[in-house]
Amino acid sequence: MSETFKNVGEMLDYFTKEENIQERFVERLMTAYPQLFPKDADGKPREPDCGVWCPVGWQPMFEELCSKVAKIVEEKNLTFKIEQVKEKFGGLRFYYSWSGDRVDEISDLIHDAEARSFKICEVTGEDGELRIKGKGYGWLKTLSDGEAGRQGYKTLKEEER
């Protein structure tokens, strides 16, 4: 993605593509792991009110996390609900609720995935690190070297100079 679009058509194409990728990913997750999602009036999984948005580069890691969490939810017979998934300050955020006994293993898996997101490029899935664009309070993203160069992001150390 370029930070500045050449025209409205380029912008609309980008966002339409991105929206379709996100919609298909969430549908895939709800089909594969229905026990992790809130239910509609008919008891079918639905997207959480606050949404699920996971950058493409993190999607394999996030799906692996869902697989592990779903297994524990089934084994422990928990009622579990994804409340929101998003990128914030360059890293993955996963918000959830449950009823039943607290299962530290689930919390540990989620914290591990959130920490790993700072080492995986959110665009390509390659090795990445936290980058910044702009002085002081700039935009933060976790990007590979190549993607950072394409988007004009620098490492935090480079930006300090």
Instruction: Identify whether the C-beta of residue 115 lies closer than 8 Å to the C-beta of residue 70.
Output: no
Distance between CA atoms of residues 98 and 109, nearest Å: 15
Question: What is the percent of the chain with per-residue pLDDT over 70, rounded to a whole number?
Answer: 92
Mention the CATH class of domain 8-120. alpha beta
Q: pTM to 2 decimals?
A: 0.85
Q: Which residues of 119-151 are buried (b: 16+ CB within 10 A; e: fewer)?
A: ebbbbebeebbbbbbeeeeeebbbbbeebbeeb
- Average pLDDT for 101-120: 94
Q: Are 61 and 117 in contact (CB under 8 A)?
A: yes
For the cut 80, the answer to whether the pLDDT of residue 51 exceeds it is yes
Sketch the domain layout of the chain as residue ranges. Answer: 8-120, 121-161
Q: Work out the pLDDT band at 9, boundaries 50, 70, 90.
A: confident
Distances (CA, A) of 102 to 76, 80, 97, 143: 10, 11, 10, 34
